[in-house]
A and B are shown apart, each in its own frame.
Chain A
Amino acid sequence: MSPRAVLSAAWLPVLFLALAALPFVPDKQVGLYAQQLTPIFILALLALGLNVVVGYTGLLHLGIAAFFGIGAYTVGILTVQTFPFQLAFPVAVLVGVLASAALGVATTAPTLRLRGDYLALVTMGFGLIIVFVIRNLDAITEGTRGLNPVTPKLLPGVDDPDLRPIRPANLGWGRYWYDYPYFYLLCLGLLALTNVLLRNLERSRLGRAWVALREDELAASCMGLNPARLKLTAIALGAAIAGLAGGLYAVAQQTTGGPEAYDFNRSMITLCCVILGGLGNRPGVLLGVFLLVGYDMVLTPVLDTYVQKREFQELFPAWMQGKQYLKVSGWRLFIFGAALIVMMRFRPSGLLPAARTKHELG
């Protein structure tokens, strides 16, 4: 292989290894920032799940957050103290993943004959319905309050070990397995694993069949592919990955949060990440999540604190102080919006386009 080919094949594993090494950097400050990456890994998983549906198969799904919510609430219900189940984390997550996949298939099967835009709309409707169901079934989901605290056991029947004895001094390492950096490494590991799995899948018969379906459904079915079955496998896999992400999210926050965390907004932002990075291209999707979610969850708070420290607001007349436009976070909507518009105008296939899409879109 040429050096160039080695570089393009190796950069992703190298990045993953570098991220895995972060908690061991002997600097407290690095730890403080690294622990903020956990939600990014989880949202990257969600985006990879959406990418299976939208990117590989070409079904515009506007309700991926619903599966994210199903995963989170399944883990919540099966592990919180309020309910009698209190299963261990792997079991609860597995149930969440299966529930998401099953729901994905059940809700998509009747709508397979819809055209693109209408399908998008049905998925949006489904996503909104799930949010209301979560919100209204107070007895099960605690309504807008969220299930709390979600701190499941790692293994069935064994109390969580106190991990403090093994931690190095002063790196901000937590006590239990769901604390930083153990959970950070778990999420990173699952992300890497999913990534490898999807890479192999892309090259398999199934992956190629999905792409064929996306490019031309009629031609694909003429070649003997079964579009309905292919679409359902894609949605099952996408929903399963989203469910996994949801389960991790609930544990990462130690609460399911309210239903708002799984609403249309989440679906939209995930879609934005996928599109910004490059539809159908895993590294692109990861980059998209890293940029958009990273900006939103890591960069803005840091910049806002910085601006606040410098007493930037005091430079302005009193009536302007405290206004949204004097805060970095206030510009969030503009940045998201502008990113999408500019991308579509000048680089519609994403920052890192898939080789195939690049070929088509130029």
Chain B
Amino acid sequence: MTPLFAADPAAAFGQFVLIGLVSGLLYALIALGYTMVYGIVELINFAHGDLFMLGCFLSLEVCLLVGARTQSEAGTPAGLAAVALMLVAAPLFCAALNVAVDRAVYKPLRTAPKLAPLVSAIGVSFVFMGVGLFWKGATDVTFPDLLGPRVTDPAAAPPEPANLLDGTGLRFTFKDLMVVLVTLPTMAALTLFVRYTTLGKAMRATAQNPTAAQLMGINVDRVIAATFALGGALAGVGSVVYSLYFNTVNYQMGFQNGVYAFTAAVLGGIGNIPGAVLGGIMIGLVKTLGGAYIGSEWSEALIFAILVVVLIFRPNGLLGARTREKV
């Protein structure tokens, strides 16, 4: 095999790390939804990835509604309005949908054997995919690049986006910055919320022992609904950032991203918020660096191999606490 990087191996490595970190943050954002729901109701919510996909479709619908169809609207009032509206609409939509599904599907199964809600979640995932298929069809659909450089002449090649790390040999555009600016504060806010607010404390109490929490006067049903709402909202934020970053949406994207995010959550220790972030970043890095230096056809196999190895040696994930087996 010939050397891959004729120019500057160190800069190339740095660039891959940057790409890995940014995409890792996106996976982490989706992973948080898995981890929070699992922490409270011990449900692997298979439908979470597909909820994220529906969020992406809604964001696209918002763009079309506001009239921001192409990159020519980047930076214009219509474009900015579309982004702002998306950041409100998608989280609301996903949160509402997640809560509705919880009420209709998972809630009646709270006392059922553990397999029942898991299977229902697979069912919900199928239904969401069906909705996505009817909504946008089966092809890849392009998502307007509203955060790229503005295009004035659609026939010409697109103008170069401004490089925030100019002169270092690395490229870090406004789009990359946007991912960081949205995800990091969201995660920080979530951590503070869970740690210091009353509802957050109630969530942690419910996670530890639902019965005891109920005895202490916590409305467990409301706490669970709030968790689903929060998880859904995170998927919604994730979908907006993701769509604006990658600019391609597809009804099957939920599965792929869901599996990454889910793996991230487990890798970090499911139920553990910093763990999900760590897991997401790890997956982003493994995928990018593995893809670059081993071959992209092996990067996914590598991710799952790492997952299996980590679980064999640390059965509760990297940051997961050793939990007692519920008997």
| Residues of A participating in the B interface, judged by any CB pair closer than 8 Å | 60, 110-111, 113-118, 120-122, 125-126, 128-129, 132-133, 135-136, 218, 264, 268, 271-272, 275, 279, 323-325, 330-334, 336-341, 343-345, 348, 361
Which of the segments B1-9, B112-120, B161-169, B217-225 contacts the partner chain?
B112-120
Knowing A132-B301, A333-B133, say if A272 contacts B119 (CB, 8 Å).
Answer: yes
Q: A115, A136, A334: which contacts B126 (Cβ < 8 A)?
A: A334
Q: A111, A116, A334, A344: which contacts B119 (Cβ < 8 A)?
A: A344
Bin the interface of chain B by size. 35 or more
Q: Which chain B residue has the least Cβ–Cβ distance from A54?
A: B115
Q: Could you tell me if B305 and A337 are in contact, using CB atoms closer than 8 angstroms?
A: no
Dominant secondary structure of chain A at its interface with chain B: helix
A117 to B41, CA, bound (A): 13
Q: Which chain A residue has the least Cβ–Cβ distance from B299?
A: A132
Q: Could you tell me if A337 and B130 are in contact, using CB atoms closer than 8 angstroms?
A: yes
Q: Which chain B residue has the least Cβ–Cβ distance from A133?
A: B301
Q: Could you tell me if A333 and B44 are in contact, using CB atoms closer than 8 angstroms?
A: no
Q: Could you tell me if B133 and A340 are in contact, using CB atoms closer than 8 angstroms?
A: no
| Residues of B participating in the A interface, judged by any CB pair closer than 8 Å | 42, 44, 105, 108-109, 112-120, 122-130, 133-134, 137-138, 255, 259, 262-263, 266, 270, 297-298, 300-301, 304-305, 307-308, 311-312, 315-316, 325, 327
Chain A contacts for B316, CB-based, 8 A: 118
A116 to B311, CA, bound (A): 12
Q: A117, A126, A340: which contacts B44 (Cβ < 8 A)?
A: A117
Q: Could you tell me if B297 and A132 are in contact, using CB atoms closer than 8 angstroms?
A: yes
Knowing A331-B130, A341-B105, say if A129 contacts B301 (CB, 8 Å).
Answer: yes
Q: Could you tell me if A275 and B127 are in contact, using CB atoms closer than 8 angstroms?
A: no
Q: Could you tell me if A340 and B122 are in contact, using CB atoms closer than 8 angstroms?
A: yes
A60 to B112, CA, bound (A): 16
- Interface centre among A118, A272, A275, by most B CB within 10 Å? A118
A135 to B300, CA, bound (A): 12
Report, nearest first, the 5 A-B pairs whose CB atoms are least far apart: A340-B123, A337-B126, A333-B130, A337-B127, A125-B304
Chain B contacts for A333, CB-based, 8 A: 126-127, 129-130, 133
Q: A113, A122, A136, A337: which contacts B301 (Cβ < 8 A)?
A: A136
Minimum Cβ distance to chain B for residue A181 (Å): 34
Chain B contacts for A135, CB-based, 8 A: 297
A335 to B301, CA, bound (A): 31
Chain B contacts for A128, CB-based, 8 A: 259, 300-301, 304
Chain B contacts for A334, CB-based, 8 A: 126-127, 130
Q: Could you tell me if A339 and B133 are in contact, using CB atoms closer than 8 angstroms?
A: no
Chain A contacts for B123, CB-based, 8 A: 336-341, 344
A325 to B300, CA, bound (A): 33
Minimum Cβ distance to chain B for residue A232 (Å): 16
Knowing A115-B315, A117-B44, A121-B311, say if A218 contacts B327 (CB, 8 Å).
Answer: yes
Q: Could you tell me if B122 and A111 are in contact, using CB atoms closer than 8 angstroms?
A: no
A348 to B304, CA, bound (A): 31
Chain A contacts for B137, CB-based, 8 A: 323-324
Q: Could you tell me if A275 and B119 are in contact, using CB atoms closer than 8 angstroms?
A: yes
Q: Could you tell me if B108 and A345 are in contact, using CB atoms closer than 8 angstroms?
A: yes
Chain B contacts for A136, CB-based, 8 A: 297-298, 301
Q: Could you tell me if B263 and A344 are in contact, using CB atoms closer than 8 angstroms?
A: no
A291 to B108, CA, bound (A): 25
A-B residue pairs in contact (CB < 8 Å), sample of 28: A111-B308, A111-B312, A114-B311, A114-B312, A115-B315, A115-B325, A117-B42, A118-B315, A121-B262, A125-B304, A125-B307, A126-B308, A128-B301, A129-B305, A132-B297, A324-B138, A332-B130, A333-B129, A337-B123, A337-B125, A338-B127, A341-B105, A341-B127, A344-B119, A344-B120, A345-B108, A345-B120, A348-B116
